[in-house]
Amino acid sequence: MAKSITGYDWTTILIFLLLVGFGWANIYSASLGVNTGNFFDLNQVYGRQGLWIVLSFLLLIIVLSIEPRFYQRFSSVIYIISLLSLAGLFVFGKTIAGQTAWYVIGPVSLQPAEFAKVATALAVAKYVSGIQVNLKEFEHQLKVFVIISLPVLLVMLQPDAGSAMVYFAFIFPLYREGLHFAYLLLGFFAAILFVSTLAFGIPWVIGGILIIGALMFLKNRKRRPNIIKYLFLIAVAVGFSLSVNYVFENVFKQHHRDRFNIVLGKEVDSRGIGYNTNQSEIAIGSGGWFGKGWTEGTQTKGHFVPEQHTDYIFSTVGEEWGFLGSSFVLILFILLLLRLLYLAERQRSQFNRVYGYSLIGIIFMHFLVNIGMVIGIFPTVGIPLPFFSYGGSGLWAFTILLFIFIKLDAERISYI
């Protein structure tokens, strides 16, 4: 480790330290109570988070001490262990708030779904970087989708839809390595159709599909387009739209339906299922340009936002640090993502590059969904803000995920 310490990307490490430090400061404020002890009081949320942070520094030292070849050579073993840890929850796990997602060992709770993202990133990088693998071939596409789908299935059974959603992040490395753009378009249009059907109803959406299909056909009529292909695509789109209500009513749970309806404006529930989001928006809006000051937020001190130190920690930033403080956090995440993108593109090893893009995708998904959830444009799904929200499992998993890549990048010249 010592011989290559200057090779580590200290820009990325500095952003990591800023996020972790500012995150703890806001967790301290969000969990501040009447019976507050010192900063290191382990009976308090902020004290426990401080302990997780200290242990994460020990963890990153271990990660950086391991030879980079280890991560590629044993990625399959790590992946299998992660699947077993997810499956083991249904026998040894503890159910909290309706989710069987934690192993409880004395005072410590561990959520294997967080660490499974690291294992899946390694497994995807290992498979895609194989010599005979070509993501333009359906056989290899199917195999990599199976690798991604197995942990998703186990996480959904907990059930934890939020963590399962994060696995869409793996479309980024797959697209970078040759997956056809049509898959991105397919996913995008499926999401648009799903939301549009819920928002406007089936007749309006089907009418829109027919009009768009006809216009596209007329636009390309000079090229003599295949009308059968257009009719097939229109039929698929119409069939998907017709299935939306069934999926929404029979696959989604009631609280998921309620949250979607609130975001779409079909229901108003500021005291029930929409209480968290409503209070979060109030807290952020009350911060103004400069905020009310650290530990001075009235919404935060009054604990009006439930679980504010976890998934809704950004509302504390908005209230106490205002628009400027919120912008600072957003800029930090954007800088981190751009820096990681630069690092991923300079890798000489395909394994390194695929892993780097997996890291970028996972952080981006968490960032996008969490911020969107807190400001009310996405339904509440329970996704933490990386390096920022309270929780030992999330902090440790993101630390491992990030510093494996930092280690791979530091050895990118000697490790090919």
Give the pLDDT confidence of 364-404 residue by residue, as tens digits.
Answer: 999 998 898 888 777 777 788 999 998 889 999 999 999 99
Q: What is the pLDDT of residue 37?
A: 59
Contact 152, 169 (CB under 8 A): no
CA dihedral 339, 343, 346, 352 (to 10 degrees): -150
* pLDDT band (50, 70, 90) for residue 64: very high
pLDDT recorded at residue 298: 76
pLDDT at 53: 94
Q: What is the 3-state secondary structure (H, E, C) of the chain?
A: CHHHHHHCCHHHHHHHHHHHHHHHHHHHHHCCCCCCCCCCCCCCHHHHHHHHHHHHHHHHHHHHHCCHHHHHHCHHHHHHHHHHHHHHHHHHCEEECCEEEEEEECCEEECHHHHHHHHHHHHHHHHHCCCCCCCCCHHHHHHHHHHHHHHHHHHHCCCCHHHHHHHHHHHHHHHHCCCCHHHHHHHHHHHHHHHHHHHHCHHHHHHHHHHHHHHHHHHCHHHCCCHHHHHHHHHHHHHHHHHHHHHHHHCCCHHHHHHHHHHCCCCCCCCCCCHHHHHHHHHHHHCCCCCCCCCCCHHHHCCCCCCCCCCCHHHHHHHHHHHHHHHHHHHHHHHHHHHHHHHHHCCCCHHHHHHHHHHHHHHHHHHHHHHHHHCCCCCCCCCCCCCCCCCHHHHHHHHHHHHHHHHHHHCCCCCC
Mean pLDDT of the chain: 84
Question: Residue 330: its pLDDT value, please?
Answer: 95
pLDDT in tens, 171-189: 999 999 988 877 777 777 8
pLDDT at 106: 78
pLDDT at residue 3 in the model:
43
Looking at residue 120, its pLDDT comes to: 97
Q: Which position has the higher pLDDT, 314 or 304? A: 314
Decide if pLDDT at 308 tops 80.
no
Per-residue model confidence (pLDDT) at position 338 = 97
Q: Which of 9-23, 135-149, 208-222 has the lowest mean pLDDT?
A: 208-222
Give the Cα separation of 183 and 83 in Å (integer): 26
Query: Is the model more confident about 269 or about 207?
Result: 207
Residue 416 in this model has a pLDDT that exceeds 50: no
Of 151-160, 201-210, 213-222, 336-345, least confident by mean pLDDT is: 213-222
CA atoms of 201 and 286, how far apart (whole Å): 35
* Mean pLDDT to the nearest integer, 265-294: 71
Taking the C-alpha atoms of residue 245 and residue 200, their distance in angstroms, rounded to an integer, is 12
pLDDT of 200 strictly over 50: yes
Give the residue-averaged pLDDT of 303-324.
82
